[in-house]
Amino acid sequence: MSTVILAEKPSQALAYVEAFQSNSKKDGYYEVSDPVLPAATVVTFGFGHLVELAAPAQYDSRYEKWELADLPIFPNPYQFNVAKDKQKQFKIVQRLIKAADTIIVATDSDREGENIAWSIMVKAGLNLKAKSIKRLWINSLEPQAILKGFRQLKDGWAYYPFYQEAQTRQISDWLVGMNASRLYGLLLRQNGVNGKYSIGRVQTPTLYMVYERDLAIQNFKPVPYFELQAQIMTPNGVFEARLDPYQRFKEPAELTAFQQAKQVVTGKQDAVIKDVQQQAKQSASPRLFSLSSLQSTINKRYHASASKTLAAVQKLYEAKLLTYPRTDCNYITQGEFEYLVTKLPEFKSLVLNCPELPQLTPQSRHVNDKRVQEHHAIIMTEQVPTAAKLKQLSVLEQQVYDLVLRTTLAMFAAPYEYDETTIISSVGQADFKATGKVPTQQGWQALFTTRIGTDDSKAKTLPAVTIGQPVQAEITTPQKKTTPPAPFTEGTLITAMKTAGKTLDDEQAQTTLKAVEGIGTEATRANILEGLKQRGYLVIKKNQVHVSEVGVTLCQAVALEPLLTSPEMTAQWEMALKEIGQQQREPASFIAQIQKFVQKLLAEVPTQFNTDVTLKQQLQQHQQVQEQAKKAATLGRCPACRTGEIIAHDKFYGCTNYRAKTPCKFTLPKKVASKTLGVTAIKDLITVGETKNLKGFKSKKGNPFAARIKLTDGKLSFDFDK
């Protein structure tokens, strides 16, 4: 009897191997031995996705070129391939799992981990029913957590629906991406707008959210209004108050009428303290972190991108310092709470001037076994790092660990307590309210005062007054203007994705939304944003997220298709996908639904491009912008075909006629002999046939030299004579 443990990647495999008593490294796997394991056990691994969906051209070579006549592309069956650079490892894994009696799926404990493992097993051609399939499901890569997980292996088939869900998501994204990208790309090209345009089931509604926010800011017209404010002067101090109930006045006449009706004049006048209320209040510590809430908070505090934050949390997970990162849960179980209690003294030592942590009984706000389904919130593992080890981490990793540490410790601290005073002052027949807050016990806030800051600076202390006390009031009527909505940051955009466009800025507010499914998953949202940035659709300026010019073109093109732009619809798709994982829906029905959606696009979108006047005008404007940019970017007439222009590409300079019926293949390199050729040098080559004497070249032996470059019959050569 032989057993294979299938890890997702080498680093994960190594974490397992190091937890066992003995191991021997082989080519692409380890032989291991430990009391928790059967005899003859090996650990092997993938490189993430060893098996991936085939590209369209792998089904039919005609798909190499984009043609409207070839759409839709609906493969049957779908093909999965192994990339050339991963084939060696795949063959090793295939040989091992084919020979095994038992396979332990030990990829990441999530849907994508199931997809990776089962895709490998299916591609390997196993008779799965003839194998015993187990599942390792853990929240930490600490040795004790790993060994406990291997003692408590689960039935692998119980997680098979997660694989079906993840693969259905993968196929549906492929269908929308391959068909819609070609459809819109070709129609845009027909309308004179060049470039490659990518459509995605999740990325497009995400992009469109930013586009709509940018539009709202761009089209925002400030509306002036007036307020009534009072400065209340007492023997014990002066404080500001505003009209209660609060009211804005659009016109001066409206304000004047109100003042006359309420016998309130602008300037100084007598007033009286109508009411004084004092109430002791407290606020609970912040919720524990899910991945999205951690990404949002880190972005707000330190302006780190979602993808960089995920990478930092992943590193801390692999370093055995934090628990599993890709979780959407804000709760832990009784088990995690108990080990945190035992480790409190050690964790406290990592925080300078750490306050007392007296709350040693679990609170339902943080500890709820029923609310933890697949993974609990992100917290520290039982492995407490030394100060020296923390210093070895990157700056962002230190910031992430520190924030998770303080947020987790906060649930053991006393509540933040304060006295809230409300004073109502009567001026004429109008009331003005002021609220002050005085902290009485810092509690958990003390954990954040130095590192993150609190709202204490915004609190104000009101002077002592009594009901019926006569005072003086100075009334002012400042004119203000309404303000536009705030631009997205990556943090608020992650939150908007999680709440399906309900752009709440904090996790606390999100908990009020019942049964809301966001767009994307905890594991994919950062990659979606990164993909939009890499494609040039989103740009980041001073931590603000905006849509680029090319992104605007795409958004205007898809604006007439709400199924492509609606976060709510995408969230409904996510809910349907989760139903597959819960065995409440069949994958085939969801794929059929996506195919109908693609067919709807193919039927409607060409007509929209031909008939929608607004879209045509927008595309004409973009065409003009592209032509102007193209003229500005051209370096001169192509010396080969004499009709095209030379422009810069990523790695070379080439002719604009490279896509003509008779393509011009003339190119010039951007780098020659280790020297990058600038625009001036290229202009000289294509106009006069040679450059000026240039320094900075290096020979094959690394020796520097200077020379002119000549262009003769399309070929470059060095000229040392002059």
Catalytic positions, written as ranges: 324
Contacts of 163 (CB under 8 A, 6+ apart): 111, 114, 115, 117, 118, 119
Q: What is the CA radius of gyration of the chain?
A: 32
Task: Please list, in sequence order, all residues whose beta carbon lies within 8 angstroms of the beta carbon of residue 361, skipping any fewer than 6 positions away.
Answer: none
The pair of three-digit structure tokens given for residue 518, joined into one six-digit string: 């966001």
The DSSP element (H or E) to which 60 belongs, if any, is none
Q: Distance between CA 630 and CA 624 in Å, rounded?
A: 10
Say if CB 435 and CB 194 are below 8 A apart.
Answer: no
Instruction: Give me 194's structure tokens.
Output: 């060049």
Query: Which sign does the torsion angle of CA 249, 253, 254, 257 carry?
Result: positive
Burial class (CB in 10 A: 0-12, 13-18, 19+), 344: middle
Cβ contact 149:119 at 8 Å: no
Cβ neighbours for 341, distance < 8 A, ≥ 6 positions apart = 360, 412
- Dihedral of alpha carbons 634, 638, 644, 646, sign: negative
What DSSP letter does each residue of 438-472 carry, written as one string? EEEE-GGGGGTTTTT--SGGG--PPPP--TT-EEE
Neighbours of 270 (CB within 10 A): 11
Give Cβ neighbours of residue 152 (< 8 Å, ≥ 6 apart). none
* Distant-in-sequence, close-in-space partners of 108: CB < 8 Å, separation ≥ 6: 8, 12, 116, 324, 326
Q: What angle do CA 6, 139, 329 make, to 5 degrees?
A: 125
How many Cβ atoms are within 10 Å of 421's Cβ, its own excluded?
Answer: 20
Nearest alpha-carbon partner for 462 in 229, 227, 233: 233
Cβ(124)–Cβ(44) below 8 Å: no
Question: DSSP code of 522?
Answer: T
Burial 45-70 (b: 16+ CB within 10 A, else e): bbeebbbbbeebeeeeeebeeeeeee
What is the DSSP track for 304-373?
--HHHHHHHHHHHHHTTSB--SS-----B-HHHHHHHHHTHHHHHTTSTTPPP----S--TTTB-GGG-S
Residues 158 and 222: their CA atoms lie apart, in Å, by 57
